[in-house]
Amino acid sequence: MGGGGISAAFCVHTFIREVMNMIRPMTHRQQLLLASGCGLLFLLAMLLVWMFMLQKEPEEPKALPAETTAVSSETSTESIYSTETTTQTETSTVETTAATTVLTTVTSTTVTTTTTAATTTTTTTQTEVIPVESITLTFYEVQLTIGETAMPIVTMHPENASDKSEIWSTSDNNIASISGWGKITAKAEGECIIRVTSAGNPEVYAEVHVIVTAPPPTEPPTEPPTEPPTEAPVEEPPVTEAPAVQPTYINGILVVNKTYALPADYNPGLDPTCKAQFDILVQAAAAEGLNIYLSSGFRSYDHQARIYNNYLNWYGQEKTDTLSARAGHSEHQTGLAIDVNTITDSFGSTPEAAWLAEHAHEFGFIIRYPKGKEHITGYKYEPWHLRYLGLETAAAVYSSGLTLEEYLGITSCYAE
Ligand SMILES: [Zn+2]
Read off the pLDDT band of 286 (50, 70, 90).
very high
Cα 119 to ligand 1 centre (Å): 50
- Name the nearest CA neighbour of 345 among 131, 134, 160, 130: 134
Q: Which residue in 382, 405, 406, 416 is the catalytic one? A: 382
Spatial CB neighbours of 404, under 8 Å, sequence gap ≥ 6: 253, 255, 257, 366, 368, 377, 387, 389, 397
- 365, 281 in Cβ contact below 8 A? yes
Cα 385 to ligand 1 centre (Å): 4
Read off the pLDDT band of 12 (50, 70, 90).
low
Q: For residue 131, say if its preceding peptide bond is cis, omega within 30 degrees of 0.
A: no
Q: Is the pLDDT of residue 112 over 70?
A: no
Q: What sign for the dihedral angle of Cα 384, 387, 391, 397?
A: negative
Indicate if 223 belongs to the active site. no
Question: If you average pLDDT over each of 30-34, 141-145, 178-182, which comes out highest?
Answer: 178-182
* Angstrom distance (rounded) from CA 128 to CA 130: 6
Query: Which residues share a beta bridge with 168?
Result: 196
Q: What is the mean pLDDT of residues 227-253?
A: 64
pLDDT: which is higher, 335 or 232? 335
Mean pLDDT of the chain: 76
Range scoring the smallest mean pLDDT among 66-70, 307-311, 368-372, 389-393: 66-70
pTM score, whole prediction: 0.48
Range scoring the smallest mean pLDDT among 133-142, 162-171, 173-182, 261-270: 133-142
* Angstrom distance (rounded) from CA 207 to CA 199: 15
Read off the pLDDT band of 133 (50, 70, 90).
confident
**CB-CB neighbours of 185 under 10 Å:** 18
pLDDT tens figures, 347-362: 999 999 999 999 999 9
**CB-CB neighbours of 326 under 10 Å:** 19
Q: Which amino acid is at 154?
A: V
Read off the pLDDT band of 38 (50, 70, 90).
low
Cα 369 to ligand 1 centre (Å): 9
Range scoring the smallest mean pLDDT among 4-8, 310-314, 382-386: 4-8
Return the HEC string of 89-149: HHHHHHHHHHHHHHHHHHHHHHHHHHHHHHHHHHHHHHCCCCCCCEEEECCCEEEEECCCE
Q: How far is CA 121 from CA 55, 62, 115, 124, in A?
A: 17, 12, 10, 5
